[in-house]
Amino acid sequence: MLTNLPNPSMLSTLPDLSALSGRAKVIAPIRAASASSLLPILFVTSSLVAFMPAAYAQSGLTEWGVPDLQGNWKNATVMPFERPAELGTKRAYTEAEAIELERQAQRAVEEDNVPLDPDRPAPAAEALPPVGNYDLFWTDRGMFLPTIDGEFRTSAIIDPANGRIPERVAGFNERMAALAVGKPDRNDGPEGRSLGERCLVAFGNSSGPVMSPVMYNSHMQIVQSPGYVTIVVEMVHDARIIKISDDRSAAAPVLDKWMGDSIGRWEGDTLIVETKHYNPWHSYRGAPTDNLTVTETFRRDGNNKLIYGFTVDDPSVYTAQWSGEYPLSRIEEPIYEYACHEGNYGIIGILAGARRLESLEDAGVDLAIDQE
């Protein structure tokens, strides 16, 4: 234990190192100090170094002076992506309405959690949910409505004013039909299955374009270093590496990365990220991503919330740009590896089942299912 702690007045006797290079700053105190006086100086220096990360954390800045967005975050919420049509241009709920909406979501989970009768008859096919083998154990629904700038939003989309995706451009459906010609059928082979089923990118749009919550694993980790921001999404462990730069790589148009090519810049306390050049196999809401540009914003709202904004621009698909925001709530739990391929026997079963059905059809077997 050190008992002869340095007197604060000793600090005034240290040499002025402000004009020295980084290497000289390390060497100069050693040359200037005797062995007996060096220990107090090192103690003060180590104390200051230990204090610095905590001080930066309290200030909301990284050690290199930009807003600190780091941590584990969750974007699950009861707020829908598009506003229910009956709400029109109503942008926000009252607090009482928001509380009731949360209660309804919690009641739905409680009802789904009621134990099932093991002797019950098989349900009718039309009564099954879209994915019949997912029960409450597997899902992690949003049950709360975090505020955005003090508002209980009725939808993630806020522009246009009706909170809904704009109309598609004229001729869009015909273009999609033409693009579908010659593409593999869903059950022809793995190329016909979704990118999520093939463990190539996250299900839904967890990792983008437009990072949105899904039925589970709506978590992400943000890591920063000087010049880069990385967003690791739990679903299929996608990692987006965002370079802080005004210039995009000349190779970006031909690399066609799964989650696009992202560059970012700081405007005040807001990180602005522009992403384009998505892989041509990627789609967004049933549309190609060839001409898609997504501009995202990240800003702190206190220590435990980020506001994530997005603007979608694709004049070959939509009649207008559209924008929205999601709240990201800090979580303390760790994010685990999403071992997708290790357990991905489902796609083998799906394709094997398709081949079996084809052989039965060739043999003239009636494949109709009797529900009686």
Lowest-pLDDT range, 71-80, 87-96, 345-354? Answer: 345-354
**Mean pLDDT calculated for residue range 127-135:** 66
Average pLDDT, the chain: 83
Q: Report the C-alpha gap between 324 and 164 in whole angstroms.
A: 10
% of the chain with per-residue pLDDT over 70: 81
Q: Quick count: other Cβ atoms within 10 Å of Cβ 249?
A: 13
Tokens representing residue 223 in the block: 């890591």
The angle at the Cα of 204, spanning 134 to 336, to the nearest 5 degrees, equals: 70
pTM confidence score: 0.80
Q: 218-242 pLDDT, tens per residue?
A: 999 999 999 999 999 998 888 999 9
**Mean pLDDT calculated for residue range 113-136:** 77
Per-residue pLDDT at 160: 98
Per-residue pLDDT at 370: 59
The residue with greater pLDDT, 345 or 152, is 152
